[in-house]
Structure 1
Amino acid sequence: MSAATLTTAPRTRRNLLRDIRIVLVRELAPVARDPFSVLFGLVQPLVFLGLFGPLLAGSAGEALGGDVWLWFVPAVLAMTTLFGTSVTGSNLQLDISSGVHERMLVTPLSRSAQLVGRALKEMVPIVAQSVVVLLVMLPFGLRPDPLGAALTLAQLAVLGVGVGSLSYALALAVRKQEWMFWMVQQTVLFPVMLLSGMLLPLENGPAWMRAASAVNPLRYVVDSGRAAFAGDVASAAVGWGWLAALATAAVGLAVGVRSMLRSAD
């Protein structure tokens, strides 16, 4: 192997990391200028906590082990992640319709870096919104395990990278029919959410629903958050949750990068 070959590979890796950083900074700039957009995404989860939480405590509190918040808050954090990252493809649609996307494609920036940088940007609002939810719920009696809460936030950030990447891939696939993005997003979003058991336990549900839930990655992430919040950070549920989050991120990035590489064809 020649010396030129040996030096090319590290330079390529450095260039890729540099490109990812450039795209990441570009995507975070609007968030820094308008942080209230992140807070606006908290309206729906806070409504669920304020209205659905007390109903859940009154109707199924004993069945859930007594502490409803340790069961429900991790689910709401997963809901926030799912809602927030599944719509990020709409931002790419705006770039496509305005011509920004095409101009980005002809820059020296790697196309893979453009997708990865966008996806990594999703980690910041996810963690910020989740921290706000935790702080809001502390006065209402939420007492999660600190390590478990931190691990859950990290896990949700990884999940968000995968879901956000899939959202970008969907936006690229239907860029000539923008309405199709919202139809597919809504069609997939709510079944995935309900079949994760985040709102009600699925143990007493019909067999077909339990079978569908078994292949839903979000279910394992929700179960992992509940176990981690309760302090069982070394449990099998947490392990399965990390496996589901990492698998979603890997699949999402693979699909998203491929879509980005073919986006100008």
Structure 2
Amino acid sequence: MLREIWLVFRRDLTISMRIPAWIFIGIMQPVLYLVLFGPLMERIVANTPGFPPGNGWTILTPALIVQMALFGMFAGFGILADLQNGVLERLRVTPVRRTALLLGKVANYALQLLIQALIMLVLALVAFDLSAPFGGVLLALVIVLLMGITLASCGYAMALILKSQEAFIPLLNTILMPILLLSGILIPITTGLAPKWLYTISQINPFRHVVDADRAAFRGDFSMDALFTGSVILAVMAILAVWWGARTFQRENA
């Protein structure tokens, strides 16, 4: 299984490396948020009660990295391209396990996400007033990678089920927009800032708790209260997403 995952990963990585500019294209939106919205966040945090601990960069930077992981669903476009180009048809006749196909592709996406997250971190550390403990940054990256694996697995599964870019694009927009807004990525949704109805709805959004855990790791808060809920939710989502993705690969590529 590991060798099969490696072969699929290497094949997808080779294709990705032919156009490395996509790594920077994918990071452009979070970088613009960091550069253009970050200075505003500093002022907002300094003058508005109800924000979580830390300065504006400690609050915004980990959330923007999580945002990149949220867009992991767009990885499904890669499998749609393979489907349209006949690549999946050729892979079906090989002895590679269908689960290995998924995990190899997800591993390639996770590597790209890690590179993008590191670029964001370096930019925030060098150009802005970001200060975070090394252990907290490592934990935050682990959280982001698990989230990227979760969303990429879901993206591959949905793309294989739909088999249509025309249907896939509006579905992603419908799913990701409320998730993004209710996660508190740009402005944390807390009891001190949000009306009660909005805070209640955001609590139902599982990704909101992952964002909170990532922010806690960034500021060096490793307490059970800060990390437990988000970590458990993320672990459950990751297991279910990989299971769903692997099952879909087995069923749709039988």
Cα pair 1:160 1:249 within 8 Å, conserved = no
Cα pair 1:221 1:245 within 8 Å, conserved = yes
Aligned counterparts of 2:109 and 2:227: Cα–Cα separation in 1: 22
1:133 aligns with 2:120: yes
From 172, 185, 210, give the equivalent of 1:221.
Answer: 210
| Distance 1:184-1:38 versus aligned 2 partners, 3 A rule | same
- TM superposition outliers: structure 1 runs of 4+ over 6 Å: none
1:18 aligns with 2:7: no
Cα pair 1:156 1:245 within 8 Å, conserved = no
Aligned counterparts of 1:40 and 1:61: Cα–Cα separation in 2: 32
What's the TM-score once normalised by structure 2's chain length? 0.92
What is the match of residue 157 of structure 1?
145
From 10, 13, 19, give the equivalent of 1:34.
Answer: 19
Map Cα deviations across residues 154-196 of structure 1 (whole Å, 9 max, x no partner).
1111111110000001101110x32110111011111101111
- Bigger radius of gyration, 1 or 2? 1
| Distance 1:264-1:35 versus aligned 2 partners, 3 A rule | closer
Q: Structure 1: which 5+ residue stretches go unaligned?
A: 1-15
- Identity percentage over the alignment? 33
Aligned counterparts of 1:191 and 1:229: Cα–Cα separation in 2: 25
Aligned counterparts of 1:261 and 1:232: Cα–Cα separation in 2: 41
What's the TM-score once normalised by structure 1's chain length? 0.88
Q: Which amino acid aligns with 1:28?
A: L
Cα pair 1:49 1:73 within 8 Å, conserved = yes
Q: Structure 2: which 5+ residue stretches go unaligned?
A: none
1:102 aligns with 2:89: yes
- Number of residue pairs aligned between Structure 1 and Structure 2: 248
Aligned counterparts of 1:58 and 1:72: Cα–Cα separation in 2: 12
Q: How does 1:100-249 map to 2 (within 5 A)?
A: 100-139=87-126, 140-175=128-163, 177-203=164-190, 204-249=193-238
Aligned counterparts of 1:232 and 1:142: Cα–Cα separation in 2: 16
What is the match of residue 58 of structure 2?
70
Cα pair 1:19 1:113 within 8 Å, conserved = yes
| Distance 1:244-1:66 versus aligned 2 partners, 3 A rule | closer
Cα pair 1:171 1:181 within 8 Å, conserved = yes
